[in-house]
Amino acid sequence: MRIAVDADGGEFAPHEIIKGAIQAAQEYKVDIALVGKKTLLHVVAGKHLKNLNLTIIGTSQTIGFHEHPMEAVQAKPRSSIVVGINLVRDGKADAFVSAGNTGAVLCAALLSLGKIKGIERPALGSIINLIPSAPALLIDAGANADCRPSHLVQFAQLGNIYAKHVLSIESPCIGLLSNGEEETKGNRLVQKSHQLLKKSSLDFIGNIEGNDIAQRTADVIVTDGFTGNIVIKTVEGLGDSFIKLRHALSSAYHLQGRALLADVGLGFMVKGMDYREYGGACLLGVKGTVIVSHGRSQAKAIKNAIGLAKRTAERGICQLISDANHEQEV
């Protein structure tokens, strides 16, 4: 298993990316292809080249955070994002992990890897992990700001496969995020999607609301990429504030007995709200495994993203999605 990692992408590139990649190489026993500016990478990662299965793929262009995704991808074929995605396309890597310009990663994946046959719109599946041993998947976490009802149905199907095979949920139940439980609630998109999902073969439990996210009512939370992205970042933002406050609290005294138990619960939830823990979102529906990490990812987030990439590639998610679509057509 070989994972290509974008060493040029993210606020803390390249140092934190390389640190995370080295940790992942050790912990997950994967080969790593670090994609980025050659000279810099050699200096930073050089001493690990012999001990770990670490290779360096030199690039000469960089796509910044504020560049227009499609224009940047087309203008910069020698950027880490395009080169990394192409490694997956050419079978030289099993997955690509990037904390760079998300839009550019999505564009490069669409252009270079292409969509799996039958998929209208690839979507980002993001793991939400607020309760011990019960992760849920939110899809779409931000790939498609404007959606049609058929897209949301396909997001549900993609999420179903991912929840089953990567999160190991035997028969995932699917909830449609809305502003009310009743099937008459929702915007036009959600109302129409609800009717289509009811007719599908999925275990559709109906509309769920914002408060169901913390209550973990559904295994797969289906929503458009605009709403999904806002929800994910709202949870993250609150998590950040809690981490700061809780850190101040914990460092001020020692916990014992019942207090310790409660603190473990609080700690788990705060951890679940932390993007550093789940590492990244998986782009589902393209011909290859692509993990998009948070732009602020440091070593731990990158290490976890590489772990997620490994798990996703091992389970053969692309093939499973392709098979499921083939069955539907037959």
Please report, as residue ranges, which positions from 138 to 157 form the binding site for its own copies (by CB under 8 A).
142, 145-146
Spatial CA neighbour of 108 closest among 229, 283, 296: 283
Regarding 232 and contact with its own copies (CB under 8 A), the answer is: yes
Regarding 219 and contact with its own copies (CB under 8 A), the answer is: no
* Nearest distance in Å: CB 151, its own copies: 13
* Nearest distance in Å: CB 169, its own copies: 21
Regarding 183 and contact with its own copies (CB under 8 A), the answer is: no
CB of 87 within 8 A of CB of 35?
Answer: yes
Compose the 2-41 pattern: x for residues touching its own copies by CB under 8 A, - for all others. ----------------------------------------
Task: Give the Cβ contact number of residue 296 at 10 Å.
Answer: 15
What tokens appear for 131 in the block?
A: 């309760």
Q: How far apart are CA 90 and CA 109, in angstroms?
A: 13
CB of 2 within 8 A of CB of 30?
Answer: yes
Q: How far apart are CA 49 and CA 77, in angstroms?
A: 26
* Nearest distance in Å: CB 138, its own copies: 11
Q: How far apart are CA 171 and CA 158, in angstroms?
A: 13
| Region near its own copies per CB under 8 A, out of 8-16, 17-25, 87-95, 265-273 | 265-273
Sheet holding 123-128, edge to edge: 54-59, 31-37, 2-6, 95-98, 289-292, 281-284, 123-128, 136-139, 220-222, 173-177, 203-208
Regarding 195 and contact with its own copies (CB under 8 A), the answer is: no
Angle at 201 between CA 184 and CA 155, to 5 degrees: 70
* Nearest distance in Å: CB 69, its own copies: 9
What tokens appear for 263 in the block?
A: 């603190």
Tell me which of 51, 241, 319, 328 binds its own copies, using CB under 8 A.
241
Regarding 188 and contact with its own copies (CB under 8 A), the answer is: yes
Tell me which of 6, 16, 219, 224 binds its own copies, using CB under 8 A.
224
| Region near its own copies per CB under 8 A, out of 44-52, 72-80, 198-206, 227-235 | 227-235
Q: Which residues are at the interface with its own copies (CB under 8 A)?
A: 66, 68, 130, 142, 145-146, 177-180, 182, 184-188, 190, 209-215, 224-227, 229-238, 240-242, 245-246, 248-249, 252-253, 255-259, 261-263, 265-266, 269, 273
